[in-house]
Structure 1
Amino acid sequence: MPADLAVETAHLLVVDDDARLRALLQRFLAEQGFRVTGAPDSAAARQALSAMAFDLVVLDVMMPGETGLQLVESLRREGNDVPVLMLTARGGPDDRVAGFEGGADDYLAKPFDPRELALRIRTILRRAAPPPATALPQAPVQLGMRWFDAERSELRGPEGTIRLTGGEAALLAALARRAGDVLSREEIAAALGTPEAGERAVDVQVTRLRRKIEPDPREPRFLHTVRHRGYVLRPGP
C-alpha cells in the first residue's frame, strides 16, 4: 500500500475524558479519512489497545485516575511502541519535555486548531511509514554489537530486536543518514517533524536513544554531543 494511502486509512485511538471534545475530534478526524475509536479514560484505552491494532494514539494528559502521561510511560515499559500524540492544557517547555521523556512522539497544547492536529498526525504516520519502493535502500548501520536498519526502523542486537518509539527511530534514522556530520538541534527537530519542540525536547530524545544504543550512556561511543553545535552519530564496531 502506498505510504500516503496508508496514512489516510490509519486507525486512530482518541483518549480524552471530555466527552464533547472527544466526540468533536472523532467526527473531525473521521471527516479527514481516518478510522477513529474513542476512549474516555486510560482503563478504556488499555482495553481498546488489547483488542485492536492502532496506528496512532491521540492522548489527553490530564485525566482522572491514571493520567495520559502515566499511561504512555506504562505502554513504553511494556514494549508497546504505538506512536502517541499528547494533548494538554499545559503547554510550557517543562510539560513538553515531560511528555517526550515519558515516550510521546509529539505534543500539542490546548486550545489547538484541529487542522494542526490532523497535520501533526499525518507527519507522525508518514515518519513511521515504510519508505517508497523506489527509494534507494540505506545500508544498516553498525553500533557495536547492534545494527540499525533504517528501512525497517529496526534496531537489533545479540538479544534480539530492541524496541524503539517512533521518535527514537526517526531520530536515529536522521542521524544515520548523515553519519559523521554534526546535526544542529534545529535540524534534528525539523527531521522529527517537531520544529517547535525546543532544544530541551531534542536533548531528551537523545538521552532516551542513548539508553538503547550505548553500552554506557554516560560515556557515549556512537552518539556524541558537539558543544554549541549539536549531535553526531559515529557508527563502528
Structure 2
Amino acid sequence: MRRTHDARIALLDEDQQTRDMLREYLEGQGMHVVPVANGTELRQLVSQEPIDAVILDVMARGEDSLGLLREMAEQPGTPPVMLLSAVASDIDRIVGLELGADDYLAKPFNPRELLARLRVVLRRGNAATARAAATPVLTFAGWVLDPTFYVVRDAAGRDVDLTSGEFKLLHALAVHAGQVVSREALLRLVHGDEAEAFDRAIDVAVSRLRAKLVRHGGGALIRTVRGEGYLFAARI
C-alpha cells in the first residue's frame, strides 16, 4: 500500500537547486526523499528498496529519461512516476503519459502543486492496487488478462509486452466489453478522476496498443466508434 504522509520518494533531477528545494519541501511534509544521480541508481533503488513514487526529470543530462520511463513501466510492481520537464508542449505530455507516466508537471512549478499532484498519484496507486486485487482474471478469444500481476497472454500463450499505461487501457476496455467507452471516460479510468481531458493522448495510446495487439493476432479486439469512442469487441 502506497502511503501519502510518510511516502518514500525517489528523485532524479539534474538541477541541484530543484533537488534541494523538493527534498526540503517534501520532507517538511513528512515524506522521505531519496535523491539519485542517474538512471542506474534509480533502477537499483526501485528494485531493492520500497519506493512509493518516483519524480523523474525528463531533461536529466546524459539520461534517456523516456526510455527509462518505458523500461520501468514494463516492470510489474513499479511505483508510479511523475515527470518534470522544462518543455510543456502537448506532444511531450502525450508521449510521457503514453509511456507510462502517472502525471506530468512543467517547470517552473509551485511546490504546493507538485505535493498535491503527488498525493493524488499515491492515492490513485492505492485505489488501483485494491481494484486489481479484487478483479478476476479476464479471458477472451483465447487471451488471458491478469490485473493482479499485469500479465497479458495471447491465444498462443505468448506474453504481450505492454507498458503499465497500455495495460490499464486494455483492462479498462475489457471490463467494459461490448460497450462504447468515450475518450473522456477512458482518460478517467486510466489516469483517475483528476485527469485533465486530453483526447489526443488517448488516441495515441489506443493506436500504440492496437499495434502491439496486431502483432499477436488481436487486431480486431478494439474497434473505433467514430465520434463516440472505443469498443472492446471480444466477449469476456
Report if TM-score (shorter chain) is over 0.5: yes
What does residue 150 of structure 2 align with?
154
Call closer, same or farther: CA 1:62–1:34 in 2, change over 3 Å: same
The unaligned stretches of length 5 or more in structure 1 are none
What does residue 15 of structure 1 align with?
12
Question: Any idea what SS the aligned residue of 2:18 has?
Answer: helix
What does residue 231 of structure 1 align with?
230
On the 8 A contact 1:189/1:195 being kept in 2, the answer is yes
What does residue 105 of structure 1 align with?
102
- Pairwise CA RMSD: 3.2
Question: What percentage of residue pairs aligned between the two structures are identical?
Answer: 37
The correspondence of residues 22-61 of structure 1 with structure 2, limited to 5 A, is 22-61=19-58
Call closer, same or farther: CA 1:48–1:139 in 2, change over 3 Å: closer
What does residue 91 of structure 1 align with?
88
Aligned amino acid, residue 64 of structure 1: R
The correspondence of residues 172-183 of structure 1 with structure 2, limited to 5 A, is 172-183=170-181
Cα distance in 2 between the residues matched to 1:182 and 1:74: 31
* Per-residue deviation, residues 120-171 of structure 1 (Å, max 9, x unmatched): 33333333332279x9x44432233322244x263343246x5654433432
What does residue 182 of structure 2 align with?
184
Cα distance in 1 between the residues matched to 2:143 and 2:14: 41
Are 1:203 and 2:199 matched, yes or no?
A: no
On the 8 A contact 1:127/1:170 being kept in 2, the answer is no
TM-score normalised by the chain length of structure 2? 0.78
Question: Any idea what SS the aligned residue of 2:204 has?
Answer: helix
* Per-residue deviation, residues 165-214 of structure 1 (Å, max 9, x unmatched): 443343234323422221211122222136336222112322343355x2
Cα distance in 2 between the residues matched to 1:93 and 1:218: 32
On the 8 A contact 1:210/1:217 being kept in 2, the answer is no
Larger mean CA deviation between 72-81 and 43-52 belongs to: 72-81
On the 8 A contact 1:100/1:204 being kept in 2, the answer is no
TM-score normalised by the chain length of structure 1? 0.78
Call closer, same or farther: CA 1:185–1:69 in 2, change over 3 Å: same
On the 8 A contact 2:46/2:78 being kept in 1, the answer is no
Cα distance in 2 between the residues matched to 1:132 and 1:63: 34
Cα distance in 2 between the residues matched to 1:198 and 1:207: 15
Question: Any idea what SS the aligned residue of 1:72 has?
Answer: helix
